[in-house]
Amino acid sequence: MSDIRVRFAPSPTGYLHIGGARTALFNWLFARKTGGTFILRIEDTDRERSTEESIQAILQSMDWLGLDYNEGPFRQTERMDIYKGYADKLMAEGKAYRCYCTAEDLDERRKQALAEGRVPKYDGRCRDLKEAIPDKSFAVRFKAPQDGQTIVNDMIKGAVTFENSQLDDLIILRSDGNPTYNFCVVVDDADMRVTHVVRGDDHLNNTPRQVLMYRAMELPEPIFAHVPMILGSDKTRLSKRHGATSVMVYKEMGYLPDALVNYLVRLGWSHGDQEIFTREELVEKFSVEAVGKSAAVFNPDKLLWLNSHYINHADIEHLLDLTLPFLKERGLITDESTVDRKLLGRIIQSLRERSRTLIELADSCRYFLAEDIEIDPTAREKHLKPERLSLLDEIAEKLDALDEFSHDAIEKIFHEVKDAHGVKLGDLAQPVRVALTGNTVSPGIFEVIEIMGREKVLRRLRQAVAV
């Protein structure tokens, strides 16, 4: 393996959303392209909001997307002694200090600064205290430089300059002893030998503070790459109002993981005009440098188009396995182990061209798998007219007499009846289609009859004639 080490570090305060999934994907592709190491770290120091349920949801989403990791998952709550050790070292070296200001004090000073038009940052009141105050709780702050500049050389955004005078002395340990996000990130990335930090650009403003801590602790700085955000169709930050944002909701909606991966990678990255990639092609062609600087706009219609493509080109056995849970959910099968896979494979093969999601595919299987169907009233009125029912009865008799229930033999019967009665093929096909499927849209009628089988076809035709 190469020396490149990247990480995905979600906070388990909810599901894995689309933006987080794209960040994980970019890191995974970077690691796989370079032969590097992909690390999964769970940043769960927010004890009030972090839940085990969210951690499991993140792990399930990563697994469903096929984003396997080489190391982890590591949990920050299991690394508290490591953070405390680094904080003690900073204090011993005079690079961090005790802050005795209460939350009320800080809030009052913040309001005053805003009222006076000043930047609402910590005023350094405890920065130069020489002695500890007995029996009073304190937080620990990092002593940041107060002048000069911090320059972040970003793989995507280029050199970004921050004025140190605009940064404050960040709390690294709260008064209850718990470490803060920015401190943990620096310690973890250094301890895990992370070489490249690829993350959303909402973290860019944290980066100069983190860089200053790397330098104060004399730790190697990673190379940063801040990926632009994903926007909704109204050009605001992607949120629930734009539709589903949870990865697992897309699974429930019948999307294929490869379709979502293909779509996510194209939100901000491109390779010429190519739209559709295999996993192998993505690994071969991906580079962080090719990620754009502008925010990407999420287009549900394009994702749906991609999903339709993947349904149409998936290995039929794989597609069958993906569809089974949706069929079971609809009561069309009861036991996956007793399914006639050959028959179901033929059904799915015939229907997938018209299906954009696995839900649509499973729903369209209903007339093949259910014992009985409901005929759409409008279709019945239009196509099952009295003058057509006698033709259905004749077709049923001829189908019943067939020795070989094959596509060619079925087609021959239709042409015989058509020619004998001087009608168009559509005048036979549509009434039969309505009688067999309950509606006017299906694959070719000869294919439908062959797959559905003699017994079910005859029963439905005769039921339609008898009504």
Residues known to be catalytic: 240
Long-range contacts, stretch 75-81, CB < 8 angstroms, 24+ apart: 75/41, 75/42, 75/44, 76/41, 76/42, 76/43, 76/44, 76/45, 76/179, 76/184, 76/188, 77/44, 77/45, 77/47, 77/50, 79/184, 79/187, 79/188, 79/191, 80/178, 80/179
When computed from its CA atoms, the radius of gyration of the chain, rounded to whole angstroms, is 32
User: Residue 148 to residues 49, 162, 218: CA-CA distances in angstroms?
Assistant: 37, 9, 19
Q: Is 239 helix (H, G, I), strand (E, B) or coil?
A: coil
- What pairing do the DSSP bridges indicate for beta strands 71-75 and 149-154? unpaired
Q: What is the residue-wise DSSP string for 363-428?
A: HHTHHHHSS--PPPHHHHHHH--HHHHHHHHHHHHHHHT-SS--HHHHHHHHHHHHHHHT--HHHH
